[in-house]
Amino acid sequence: MRKFGITLLVLVLLGAVGYAIYYFLEPKAPNVSLDFAKPGDVFIGKPFALSISYANSSDQVLKNAKFLVVLPPEIAFLGKPADQRVFEKPIGDVGPGSVTPETLNLVALSGAQSFKEVTAKLRYNLANNPDVQFEATKTFDLGLGLPAVSLTVVVPQSINSGENFDTQVKLQNNTGEDVKSITLKLSYPPVFNFVKSDKEEARKNNQEWIFPMLAKGQTDSVTVNGNIVGADLARYQFAASASSDYMGQTYAMDNQTADIAISPSPLSLSVLVNGSDPNSYVARAGDEINYEMKYKNNSPVPLSNLKLTAGMVGEMYDFSTLSASAVFNSITNVLTWTQQNVGDLAVLNPGEERSISFRVRLKNAFTIRRLGDKNFSVKLNLSLESPTVPPGVAAQKTVTISKTETKLAGQTDVKATGYFYDSASGILNKGPYPPKANQKTQYTVHWKVTNYTTDIADTVIKATVIPGVNFTGQVKSNADTKPTYDAQSGVITWNLGSVPATKGIVTPAFEAVFQIEYTPSNLQVGKEVVLLGATELSAKDVFVDRGISAASDQITTFLKEDPKIPSNLDRNVRP
């Protein structure tokens, strides 16, 4: 016990001595500090100066010093690329007792009314320890204020289709000084029709206005007039941005958006596809499509001289089968109905509803040449208009539009074929062929899956062996999975999973090969024997969100696809 106590005491003393040696020999950083000077108000998009000083309060010279500043993504170095995050400046030697200020010109890019962290670092060596790099670090929470120039986008909550309306963008100088050379840029919905604007002296084009100066505290605005022809309840977005240029770089001060909706039109228009809601109807290649277009006058006045147009878009339309009481433009594929060919379009009284129909057949086959030939659909772009404008509507005409897209279901094939002579598959079949009674013969079965125009998922292929047929376990596949066999049920299953469109057309098909064997009886002499029942494929068509299926005939000992069996050979079971 005494010996153990002495040993423990020695270990404690050795540890204390080691710590003391480490403590006194470890390189000690001198007294070096960094300090941020709080800037004045910082506005988004307006340059500001940030002062940072570093002080050497030690009695040693700092060697090979470097000054670094790291910015968050919301702040940039003025005149530098916006994604430059680090500023580095070699300093050289920093003498004892020195205090050195550094001033950086920065600009805030975003993050109004928030705090962002800026980090300053000073890296250096000491003359008596040149191999060790020391680093002093200081962080500063920089407060960001309002945009230098803030925007407000004002649009009506809703408009009538085709009605002219105003969009106003207000500019407000939030700084305590003048802001010069401001660019205001508007982004419109693609269907917006520009009519006019005020501030012609500032307008560069229909989307940009240049303000040479916005005095401190001043407000200004731009008003744009135009119209949108859109479907009932459709929503569109207007966007505005204000920016200014400094040192060859453009800096945004504010970005704002506003949404506008299309009010229900005085003239409503809807369509049925083969009597069904177009949003739920799924067509197939070769189908005949009957479009029924219903229109109604919801206004308090008669609407006269109506014109209905239907633009047909999609390569699966077979225009040679088109049947319509309209004028057809075969260059633009647009049908037009007027009172000249449909008398009912002369006048539509208040509350009255009518319809016009036409028929067209879809092509029987898809055209697939490349990987992108997938997800086929046919579209119908409808427009109905009248020069009559109901009271209180500021539009040149009454117009409504409707767009319909009918998706086409894909097509998937599974082909089951049987072989005796099949060395190319890498599986060798044994036994006599034609088969003989009481002698075992082996066969290979190929499952090949071809998928056409839509991606499919959850693909499963199944077939059942006839009683007496055995699965040998020899199986191959060029997919990630292989067929498996359930001996109790006799079902062979291939869980193939996802199959992309054009598989087997543009790229090689998925294929699996497995071996089965069968010993015929004397009672089957002179007969053709079924080996495998019909092969069935089930999957989900991802494009139309519907089930899809395919099947292939049963496989018999006749092996009609095996090219190495003479065509005139009697293939029935022999004694």
Q: Are residues 389 and 441 in the same domain?
A: no
Q: What is the CATH number of the domain that holds 390?
A: 2.60.40.10
Q: Which structure tokens are listed for 226?
A: 């135009």
Chain centroid to CA 247: how far?
36
Residue 13 lies in a domain: no
Residue 421 lies in a domain: yes
> Which domain-ending residue is among 129, 144, 159?
144
What's the angle, vertex CA 46, arms to CA 41 and CA 52, rounded to 5?
Answer: 60
> Which domain-ending residue is among 94, 109, 144?
144
Residue 456 lies in a domain: yes
Instruction: Give the Cα separation of 193 and 401 in Å (integer).
Output: 15
Q: Identify the pLDDT of residue 6.
A: 55
Q: Are residues 219 and 159 in the same domain?
A: yes
Q: Are residues 218 and 183 in the same domain?
A: yes
pLDDT digits (tens, 9 = 90+) for 412-453: 999 999 999 999 999 999 999 999 999 999 999 999 999 999
Q: Are residues 206 and 308 in the same domain?
A: no
Q: Are residues 170 and 191 in the same domain?
A: yes
Q: Are residues 119 and 174 in the same domain?
A: no
Q: Are residues 349 and 466 in the same domain?
A: no
| H-helix or E-strand spanning residue 9 | helix 2-25
Domain count, the chain: 4
Residue 3 lies in a domain: no
State yes or no: pLDDT of 217 exceeds 60.
yes
State yes or no: pLDDT of 137 exceeds 50.
yes
Residue 8's pLDDT band, with cuts at 50, 70 and 90, is low
DSSP secondary structure, 452-514, as one string: -SS-EEEEEEEEEBPTT-EEEEEEEESSS---EEETTTTEEEEEEEEE-TTBTTTBPPEEEEE
Q: Are residues 57 and 73 in the same domain?
A: yes
**425-428 contact pairs (CB < 8 A, 24+):** 425/476, 425/513, 426/476, 427/474, 427/476, 427/513, 427/515
Q: Are residues 107 and 159 in the same domain?
A: no
Q: Identify the pLDDT of residue 14.
A: 53
Q: Are residues 384 and 460 in the same domain?
A: no
**556-559 contact pairs (CB < 8 A, 24+):** 556/418, 556/528, 556/529, 556/530, 556/531, 557/434, 557/435, 557/441, 557/443, 557/518, 557/520, 557/528, 557/529, 557/531, 558/528, 559/418, 559/419, 559/420, 559/443
Q: Are residues 63 and 125 in the same domain?
A: yes
- Can you tell me the mean pLDDT for 86-94? 93
- Can you tell me the mean pLDDT for 262-272? 88
Write down the pTM of the prediction.
0.67
Q: What is the CATH number of the domain that holds 520?
A: 2.60.40.740
Give residue 474's domain range: 412-556
Q: Which structure tokens are listed for 45?
A: 């998009």
Residue 25's pLDDT band, with cuts at 50, 70 and 90, is very low
> Which domain-ending residue is among 390, 405, 420?
405
Q: Are residues 82 and 119 in the same domain?
A: yes
Residue 19 lies in a domain: no
Residue 562 lies in a domain: no
